C-alpha cells in the first residue's frame, strides 16, 4: 500500500505496529513522553506563554476515525500562541482529544508515571516561516502543540457545548458546522508548563512539534467524559467499534531535556 497507510489503535494497526509503515516511530524525538517532574529543569529564560484566542473562528467539528476534532480559520494571526519556548507566533489550526475506556488512563503524556483520564491537544503552526500547515508539519520548528490534561471531578461548564455536538459526529468521516466556540475556556487557570522537542503522536509521527504541556489539569465530569466514549472508530455502514484508548504510550526520552517554566 502506498500513500495513505491505514493505521489505528487496534491490535493489528495500533501504535506498536506503526514503525512498519512509519520508521520515524523509532526516532530520537518521539512523543508522548513521561514527564519526570524531578528531571525537568527550571528555565528562568522561558517567557510566559501568551495565548490569544479571543478572536478565534471555529468552523467545524469532525470525527476523523481517530479522534474528535474542532477546526479553526487560520488565514491570519488572530488566534495564536506565542512566548514560552517559541520564536514568533503560531496559529491555531485545530484541537482534538485522546481518552481511554476507563478513568484510569487515556492521556498520552504522563507525569511521574501517572496517566490522566484524557488529554486535549491544541495544534498550532508556524505561519511566519511556512506557507501551509502541511509544510509546517514536516519542519522541525513547524508546530507547537499545547497539551492539557483532563481530570474527572466537577462538571466543566464549557465542555457541554462540545459534548452536546458529539451526536452529529458519532461516525468516522462525519463533520458538522461548529461556530463561535472559544477554546480559551478549555485552558487551566495557571499557565505553568513543561516544554520539550517532540513529534506528532499519530502517523506520520513527524518530529516537528514543540510540546507545551500544562502542569494544571482541567476538570470534567465522568458523565462528560462518558460522552467521548459514545463516538465510534467506524463509519455508519461498518460494524460498530467504540472510540476509546486512542492514545500512544510514552516514548523514550533519549537525549532530550524537559524544561519547566516554574520552580518545582
Let me know if 4 is a catalytic residue: no
Cα angle 86, 49, 104; round to 5: 100
Please indicate, yes or no, if residue 81 is contained in any of the structural domains. yes
3-state secondary structure of 20: helix
Q: What is the separation, in whole angstroms, between the first and last Cα of the chain?
A: 48
pLDDT, tens only, 39-56: 999 999 999 999 999 889
Mean pLDDT of the chain: 95
What residue numbers bound the domain in which 106 lies?
42-260
- Domain holding 135: CATH number? 3.10.200.10
Number of domains, the chain = 1
For residue 229 the three cell numbers come to 466514549
Please indicate, yes or no, if residue 1 is contained in any of the structural domains. no
Q: Which of 66, 121, 124, 156 is catalytic?
A: 66
Closest listed residue to residue 60, CA positions, set 27, 94, 18 = 94
Please indicate, yes or no, if residue 25 is contained in any of the structural domains. no
Please indicate, yes or no, if residue 252 is contained in any of the structural domains. yes
pLDDT, tens only, 130-188: 999 999 999 999 999 999 999 999 999 999 999 999 999 999 999 999 999 999 999 99
With beta carbons less than 8 A apart as the criterion, state whether 124 and 86 touch: no
- Which ranges of the chain does DSSP label H, i.e. alpha helix? 133-136, 159-163, 222-228
pLDDT, tens only, 176-224: 999 999 999 999 999 999 999 999 999 999 999 999 999 999 999 999 9
pLDDT at res. 4: 52
Please indicate, yes or no, if residue 207 is contained in any of the structural domains. yes
Q: pTM for the full model?
A: 0.96
Query: Which 8-state DSSP code applies to residue 167?
Result: G
DSSP-derived secondary structure for 41-55: EE-TTPPPEEEE-TT
Cα angle 86, 89, 93; round to 5: 110
Please indicate, yes or no, if residue 7 is contained in any of the structural domains. no
Amino acid at each position: 500500500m502506498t500513500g495513505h497507510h491505514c493505521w489505528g489503535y487496534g491490535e493489528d494497526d495500533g501504535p506498536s505496529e506503526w514503525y512498519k509503515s512509519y520508521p520515524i516511530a523509532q526516532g530520537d524525538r518521539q512523543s508522548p513522553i513521561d514527564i519526570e517532574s524531578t528531571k525537568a529543569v527550571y528555565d528562568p529564560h522561558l517567557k510566559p506563554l501568551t495565548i490569544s484566542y479571543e478572536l478565534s473562528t471555529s468552523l467545524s467539528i469532525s470525527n476523523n476515525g481517530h479522534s474528535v476534532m474542532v477546526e479553526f480559520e487560520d488565514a491570519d494571526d488572530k488566534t495564536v500562541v506565542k512566548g514560552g519556548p517559541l520564536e514568533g507566533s503560531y496559529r491555531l489550526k485545530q484541537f482534538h482529544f485522546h481518552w481511554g475506556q476507563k478513568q484510569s488512563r487515556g492521556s498520552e503524556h504522563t507525569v511521574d508515571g501517572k496517566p490522566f483520564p484524557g488529554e486535549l491537544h491544541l495544534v498550532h503552526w508556524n505561519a511566519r516561516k511556512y506557507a501551509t500547515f502541511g509544510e509546517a508539519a514536516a519542519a522541525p520548528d513547524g508546530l507547537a502543540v499545547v497539551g492539557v490534561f483532563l481530570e474527572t471531578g466537577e462538571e466543566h461548564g464549557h465542555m457541554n457545548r462540545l459534548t452536546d455536538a458529539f451526536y452529529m459526529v458519532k461516525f468516522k468521516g462525519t463533520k458538522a458546522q461548529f461556530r463561535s466556540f472559544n477554546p480559551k475556556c478549555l485552558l487551566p487557570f495557571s499557565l505553568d508548563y513543561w516544554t520539550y522537542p517532540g513529534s506528532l503522536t499519530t502517523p506520520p509521527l513527524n518530529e516537528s512539534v514543540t510540546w507545551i504541556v500544562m502542569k494544571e489539569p482541567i476538570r470534567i465530569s465522568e458523565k462528560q467524559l462518558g460522552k467521548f466514549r459514545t463516538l465510534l472508530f467506524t463509519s455508519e455502514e461498518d460494524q460498530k467499534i467504540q472510540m476509546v484508548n486512542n492514545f500512544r504510550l510514552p516514548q523514550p526520552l533519549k537525549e532530550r531535556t524537559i524544561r519547566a517554566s516554574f520552580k518545582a
